[in-house]
């Protein structure tokens, strides 16, 4: 019998909102979003899951949320607000994932209700994953609390947890219904966390937008000195470029191309090797430095351009490299990392390298000797670039 | 700052193939599908997970699969073929889900490789769910072995497992890359399983296609007598209508309307109450009978039309109702089931009732008295319909 062909498209859309003091009673943003989405449903509930670090830094937060929903009561707040640890541990141990599922079950959160997560990228990833698979997908809202999650991971479409000691072994591509970036959460970040997220802005500028790279150069000192206006623009612009990339390319990554992974293949390995002592953004800054110097050594960009990247990374206060990124006898962790990345992509290695400030190209082979040389150059730090 | 709007569409497509003896060495269908899909990937592997019931009924199957891939060796078969129990237990106990994840991890199945499941709907649901969340989505292939999975559940877009004692509490909407319906698997089904799947054909005919309903009437005896030609057409047509519905409406069910759930709300409850002693198709046939008589009693269809439905159900060899579907003092399980279905949909109850043979309408309220009366009428079975 003739085969049957199935074909359909699904439309995905969501907004990323920028605000200050999201839960101030007079801030209508969240309430009006909740009320306007799907007004037909009879009862809509909202379950909050919050990163412990955020609760500790903002002591009044839980009370503010309760007060907010007692005023804006068209959406029913689940009074039992879940507080879970932040950072990678929340993705490593499935008990936190189970805790979210249990709350969804116990409080009768259905496909017309909401799960809202407030926290860093790890908390958003884990809660997003739980929401995505419960009842085949509950509407989830992301309220990122770090630079990194506000400008990058929190505004995208990926969720996940670690399993079998593998990063994001379990997960989905499933967009949130909305993201709320609240600048107040940034004010309490440590300098390390404030700085860390800026690495994603360097990355996306380098592969997509020369003008934004120049803006980062011009504002490096302001950013390093915790200037709020500069930070807000950096987050907005980085999120915008990230989102444009997602929609223009291959949102659910059915192909092998992953230009947004520029600088990331070695970063992932380094994070694991240091048991996440090195922050994601710090590792990405080192990964960008490595791939930038490689791009120069392999004849893709000029020494001057590579030097500008290195200078920017240093001005923002990042380290340029790490002993574990060096290739020596008995230490080829980054070569292992390259192989693991190839496996992760499925067969063919695809790495983005720079062809200019603001443009990249995909390559399918990395030369081990050049890589070793690039790592050494960064390790010396004195004469960074080969002229 | 101005909010950022994200919007994109994702295209989904797959084929449902009809064949006989899929693993006969000279049957090129599966091999050419695998080779043509994404020819760029360097290494493609395929992991098989098979329903124990199928392996027991087709003793040579595993050897045939190995011989097939030793001839058609462009795709690398994972030699360790997983055999797991069939039926609802495989969705109830997460150890089977974990087993599939472990195999995916151990054998390095990546996003360009395949997980193929052979079995009934429960096995396909569970394996599909595991494939869907591993690495954020591995390509999964469904090879349904029952009438019900070949004409309905196996050709759709849903996966899932049971959790917290709730059916499909965890799951995803995620289409397979292909479905292969092999008629050989049907030859060894028990009469109960052969019959059971036909309930979905009655359902989809009643809400979508009067002509197909008439075809079912004309072929009821042939179907009951295990006529292969009639069965093949029934499966093809039912799968076609099911797939057309998915693409024309709301593939990932973001709204509340679920016309394909006609006859299902009471069926789900009955399956649970009998611990799945009553097969899904048997329960659906009873659910269709109930909603059909309700449609008559509430003035939506004529007594003659209702009688035709009841007669067809009986001619196919189904029971019309079950003691647990009766509403008596101390037994209002189906009223509970109605409430649970409302909760599952999220707030507003939406049930499809018949307005004719081949057309349905959505209603948002069910009258408990009429429901009780409908159940009683079916229980008596003598004068089935009120004239």
Domains in chain A (CATH in brackets) are 15-188 (3.40.50.1970), 197-380 (1.20.1090.10)
What is the pLDDT, as a whole number, of residue B260? 74
Residue from A179, A181, A158, A240 nearest A205 by CA: A240
Counting every residue written for chain A, the total comes to 387
Burial (CB < 10 A; 0-12, 13-18, 19+), residue B229, is exposed
The strand pairing partners of B49, in sequence order, are: B82, B117
Distance of CA B299 to the CA centre of its chain: 30
User: How many Cα atoms within 13 Å fall on the side-chain side of residue B226?
Assistant: 10
Which DSSP helix (H) or strand (E) runs through B170?
A: strand B166-173
For B7, nearest residue in chain A (alpha carbons)? A13
Given an 8 Å threshold on Cβ–Cβ distance, is B172 in contact with A136? yes
The strand pairing partners of A180, in sequence order, are: A17
Indicate the residue of B6, B136, B345 with minimum beta-carbon distance to A160.
Answer: B136
Write out the two tokens for B121: 């709907």
Counting every residue written for chain B, the total comes to 387
Name every chain B residue with its beta carbon within 8 A of the beta carbon of A40.
256, 348
Write out the two tokens for B310: 């009841």
Write out the two tokens for A134: 């419960």
CB B320 within 8 Å of CB B226: no
Given an 8 Å threshold on Cβ–Cβ distance, is A8 in contact with B251? yes
Distance CA B10, CA A385 (A): 43
What are the φ/ψ torsions at residue A172 (nearest 5 degrees)? -145, 160
Name every chain A residue with its beta carbon within 8 A of the beta carbon of B251.
8, 10
Strand B82-84 with B45-51, pairing: parallel
Q: Is A116 helix (H, G, I), strand (E, B) or coil?
A: strand
Residue from B309, B370, B360 nearest B338 by CA: B370
What is the pLDDT, as a whole number, of residue A287? 97
Write out the two tokens for B70: 């030793």
pLDDT class of A212 with cuts at 50, 70, 90: very high
Using the structure block, give the residue that is written with the tokens 């289409």. Answer: B175
Q: Which residues contact A173 (CB under 8 A, 6 or more apart)?
A: A157, A158, A159, A251, A252, A253, B136, B137
CB B148 within 8 Å of CB B172: no
- pLDDT tens, position by position, A217-268: 999 999 999 999 999 999 999 999 999 999 887 888 777 667 678 999 999 8
Indicate the residue of A12, A101, A164 with minimum beta-carbon distance to B10.
Answer: A12
B109/chain A closest Cα distance in angstroms: 8
CB A129 within 8 Å of CB A171: yes
What is the pLDDT, as a whole number, of residue A293? 97
DSSP secondary structure string for all residues of B252-316: T--SS--GGGTTTHHHHHHHHHTTT-S-HHHHHHHHHHHHHHHHHHTTSS-HHHHHHHHHHHHHT
Using the structure block, give the residue that is written with the tokens 């929401």. Answer: A131
For A248, nearest residue in chain B (alpha carbons)? B8
Mutate to test the interface with B, among A136, A180, A236, A244 (most CBs of B within 10 A): A136
Distance CA B136, CA B127 (A): 14
Average pLDDT over residues A145-171: 94
Residue from B311, B288, B265 nearest B202 by CA: B288
Name every chain A residue with its beta carbon within 8 A of the beta carbon of B105.
163-164, 166, 169
Q: Which residues contact A165 (CB under 8 A, 6 or more apart)?
A: none
Name every chain A residue with its beta carbon within 8 A of the beta carbon of B44.
347
pLDDT class of A37 with cuts at 50, 70, 90: confident
The strand pairing partners of A360, in sequence order, are: A354
CB A82 within 8 Å of CB A54: no
Write out the two tokens for B272: 């649970």
pLDDT class of A383 with cuts at 50, 70, 90: very low
Does residue A196 have a pLDDT over 80? Answer: yes
Q: Which residues contact A163 (CB under 8 A, 6 or more apart)?
A: A94, A169, A170, B101, B105
Distance CA B308, CA B330 (A): 33
Residue from A122, A121, A114 nearest A96 by CA: A122
CB A325 within 8 Å of CB A286: yes
Strand B45-51 with A359-363, pairing: unpaired
A319/chain B closest Cα distance in angstroms: 31
B306/chain A closest Cα distance in angstroms: 31
Please state at what angle helix B280-297 crosses helix B198-208, rounded to 10 degrees: 30
Degrees, nearest 5: CA angle A69-A75-A80: 60
Residue from A332, A349, A384, A352 nearest A284 by CA: A352
The strand pairing partners of A114, in sequence order, are: A46, A139
Residue from A340, A316, A322, A259 nearest A286 by CA: A322
Which DSSP helix (H) or strand (E) runs through B359?
A: strand B359-363
pLDDT class of A384 with cuts at 50, 70, 90: very low
Distance CA A206, CA A210 (A): 7
Helices then strands, each counted (H, E), chain B: 16, 11
For B240, nearest residue in chain A (alpha carbons)? A4
Q: Where are the beta strands (DSSP E) in chain A?
A: 4-19, 45-51, 76-77, 82-84, 114-119, 139-144, 158-163, 166-173, 178-182, 351-356, 359-363
CB A6 within 8 Å of CB B247: yes
CB B52 within 8 Å of CB B83: yes
Which DSSP helix (H) or strand (E) runs through A102?
A: helix A94-106
Given an 8 Å threshold on Cβ–Cβ distance, is B101 in contact with A163? yes
Q: What is the largest CA-CA distance in chain A?
A: 71
Name every chain B residue with its beta carbon within 8 A of the beta carbon of A135.
168-169, 171, 344
- pLDDT tens, position by position, B313-339: 999 999 999 999 998 887 788 888 888
What is the pLDDT, as a whole number, of residue B41? 59
Name every chain B residue with its beta carbon within 8 A of the beta carbon of A246.
6, 8
Distance CA A366, CA A362 (A): 11
Given an 8 Å threshold on Cβ–Cβ distance, is B136 in contact with A168? yes
Mutate to test the interface with B, among A6, A28, A102, A104 (most CBs of B within 10 A): A6
CB A107 within 8 Å of CB A45: yes
A245/chain B closest Cα distance in angstroms: 10
Question: Which residues of chain B fall short of a pLDDT of 70?
Answer: 38-42, 256-257, 259, 346-347, 382-387
Indicate the residue of A3, A243, A247 with minimum beta-carbon distance to B17.
Answer: A3
Given an 8 Å threshold on Cβ–Cβ distance, is B6 in contact with A160? no
Given an 8 Å threshold on Cβ–Cβ distance, is B7 in contact with A9? no
Average pLDDT over residues A333-350: 81
Using the structure block, give the residue that is written with the tokens 């007669």. Answer: B311
Q: Is A282 helix (H, G, I), strand (E, B) or coil?
A: helix
Distance CA A324, CA B370 (A): 73
Which DSSP helix (H) or strand (E) runs through B11?
A: strand B4-19
Indicate the residue of B134, B172, B247 with minimum beta-carbon distance to A6.
Answer: B247
What is the pLDDT, as a whole number, of residue B171? 97
Name every chain B residue with its beta carbon within 8 A of the beta carbon of A9.
9-12
Q: Is A243 helix (H, G, I), strand (E, B) or coil?
A: helix
Q: Which residues contact B324 (CB under 8 A, 6 or more apart)?
A: B270, B273, B274, B331, B333, B334
CB B105 within 8 Å of CB A166: yes
For A135, nearest residue in chain B (alpha carbons)? B169
Indicate the residue of A8, A43, A168 with minimum beta-carbon distance to B12.
Answer: A8
Distance CA A113, CA A48 (A): 11
Distance CA B56, CA B336 (A): 39
């Amino acid at each position: 019998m003739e085969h049957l062909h199935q074909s359909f498209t699904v439309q995905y859309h969501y907004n990323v909102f920028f605000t200050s003091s999201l839960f101030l009673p007079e801030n209508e943003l969240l309430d009006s979003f909740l009320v306007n989405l799907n007004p037909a449903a009879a009862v809509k509930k909202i379950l909050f899951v919050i990163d412990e670090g955020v609760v500790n830094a903002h002591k009044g937060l839980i009370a503010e949320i309760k007060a907010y929903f007692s005023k804006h009561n068209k959406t029913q707040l689940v009074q039992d607000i879940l507080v879970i640890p932040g950072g990678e541990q929340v993705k490593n141990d499935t008990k936190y994932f189970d805790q979210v599922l249990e709350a969804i079950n116990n409080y009768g959160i259905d496909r017309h209700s909401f799960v809202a997560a407030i926290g860093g990228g790890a908390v958003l990833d884990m809660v997003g994953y739980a929401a995505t698979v419960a009842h085949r997908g509950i509407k989830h809202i992301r309220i990122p609390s770090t630079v990194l999650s506000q400008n990058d991971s929190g505004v995208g479409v990926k969720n996940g947890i670690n399993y079998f000691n593998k990063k994001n072994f379990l997960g989905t591509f499933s967009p949130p219904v909305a993201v709320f970036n609240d600048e107040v959460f940034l004010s309490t970040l440590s300098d390390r966390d404030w700085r860390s997220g800026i690495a994603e802005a360097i990355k996306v500028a380098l592969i997509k937008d020369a003008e934004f790279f120049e803006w980062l150069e011009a504002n490096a000192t302001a950013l390093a000195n915790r200037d709020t206006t500069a930070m807000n623009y950096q987050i907005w612009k980085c999120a915008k470029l990230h989102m444009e990339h997602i929609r223009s390319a291959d949102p659910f990554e059915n192909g092998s191309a992953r230009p947004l992974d520029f600088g990331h293949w070695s970063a992932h390995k380094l994070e694991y090797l240091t048991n996440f002592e090195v922050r994601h953004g710090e590792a990405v800054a080192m990964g960008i430095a490595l791939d930038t110097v490689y791009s120069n050594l392999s004849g893709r960009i000029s020494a001057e351009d590579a030097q500008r990247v290195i200078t920017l990374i240093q001005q923002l206060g990042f380290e340029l490299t790490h002993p574990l990124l060096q290739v020596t006898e008995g230490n080829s962790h980054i070569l292992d990392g390259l192989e693991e990345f190839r496996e992760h992509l499925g067969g063919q290695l695809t790495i983005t390298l720079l062809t200019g400030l603001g443009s990249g190209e995909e390559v399918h082979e990395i030369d081990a000797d050049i890589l070793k040389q690039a790592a050494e150059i960064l390790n010396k730090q004195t004469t960074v670039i080969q002229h």
